[in-house]
Chain A
Amino acid sequence: MRDLRSLRRLSVGAVGVAAALVIAACGTTSTTAEKEATGAKPASAKYDASNPLNVVVLFQSETPNDGGWNESWERARNKIEEHFGGKVKTSYKVSVPDTEETVNIVDGVVADGADVVIGVSYGQGPPLLKAAKKHPDVYFIQSQWKSPGLANFSGVDVAPEQGYYLAGMAAAAASKGKTIGAVVPFAVPFVLREINGFALGAQSIDPSIKVSGVLTNSWFDPSKDVQAAQAVMSKGANVVARFLDDRAIDTAAQRKGVYWVGTGTDTRKTAPKTFLATPMWNWDGVLTTLIDSILNDQWTSQFLYADMQKDGVTMAWGDAFKEKISAADQQKIADMEKAFKSGEKQVFTGPITDVDGKVAVEDGQSLDLDGLLGMNFVVQGITGVRVKG
Chain B
Amino acid sequence: MTADLIRLERRLATPRWLMLAVPAAAGVVALLLAAIFLAATGRDPISTYRQMAQASITRDGALSATMITATPLLLTGLAAAIAFRMRAWNIGGEGQLYIGAIAAAGAGLVVGGQGLAVALPAMCLAGMAGGALWAAIPGLLRAHLNTNEILTSLMLNYVAALLGYYLIFGSGSYWRDLTSPGAQVFPQGKEIAATSWWPGFLAPGVVLPLGFLVGIACAVGLFVTIRSTRFGFRLRVVSDSPRAALYAGIRTKRAFVLVMVLSGALAGLAGVSQVGDFAHQLDPKGLQGAAYGYTGIVVAALARYNPIGVILAALFMGALANAGLSLAGSDFPQGLVGMIEGIILFCALGGEVLSRYRIRVGRGSRALASVVASDSTAPAPRVDGIAGEGAGQGGAEVDMGTGRIL
Contacts and interface: CB of A to CB of B under 8 A. Distances in A.
Interface of A: 1-16, 18-19, 21-23, 25-31, 33, 62-63, 91-101, 103-105, 107-108, 111, 122-123, 125-126, 144-146, 186-190, 217, 370, 373-374, 376, 388-389
B69 A188 contact: no
Given A26-B201, A144-B186, A217-B165, 6 more contacts: A4-B325, A8-B279, A91-B329, A93-B330, A189-B185, A376-B184
A373 B201 contact: no
B175 to A, nearest CB: 11
Given A91-B330, A108-B59, A29 B202 contact: yes
A55 to B, nearest CB: 11
Interface in B213-254: 213-214, 216-217
B178 A111 contact: no
Interface stretch (B27-35, B289-297, B350-358): B289-297
Nearest to B341: A1
A27 B204 CA distance: 8
A126 B279 CA distance: 11
B209 A188 contact: no
A179 B317 CA distance: 51
Contacts of A94: 328-329, 333-334
Contacts of B198: 10, 13
A98 B208 contact: no
28 contacts: A2-B321, A2-B325, A3-B289, A5-B69, A7-B277, A10-B199, A11-B200, A18-B214, A26-B203, A26-B208, A62-B335, A63-B334, A93-B326, A95-B325, A95-B328, A97-B290, A98-B285, A101-B325, A103-B65, A108-B59, A108-B326, A111-B59, A125-B182, A146-B181, A217-B165, A370-B181, A388-B170, A388-B172
B96 interface: no
A123 B186 contact: yes
B326 A28 contact: no
A104 B169 contact: no
Given A23-B208, A101-B69, A146-B181, A6 B278 contact: yes
A16 B120 CA distance: 12
B64 A122 contact: no
A373 B181 CA distance: 9
Contacts of A12: 199
A264 B136 CA distance: 45
Nearest to B218: A18
Across chains A and B, which 10 residue pairs bring their CB atoms closest together, nearest first?
A13-B199, A389-B172, A10-B200, A3-B289, A374-B184, A104-B65, A93-B329, A91-B330, A18-B213, A62-B334
Interface SS of B by simple majority? helix
Contacts of B204: 25
Interface residues of B, number: 73
Contact of B200 (A3, A31, A370): A31
B164 to A, nearest CB: 11
Given A63-B334, A101-B69, A4 B321 contact: yes
Interface in B292-346: 292, 294-295, 317, 321-322, 324-326, 328-331, 333-335, 337
A243 to B, nearest CB: 14
B186 A122 contact: yes
Contacts of B61: 33, 104, 107
A189 B183 CA distance: 10
A257 B337 CA distance: 41
Given A10-B200, A13-B201, A389-B172, A95 B68 contact: no
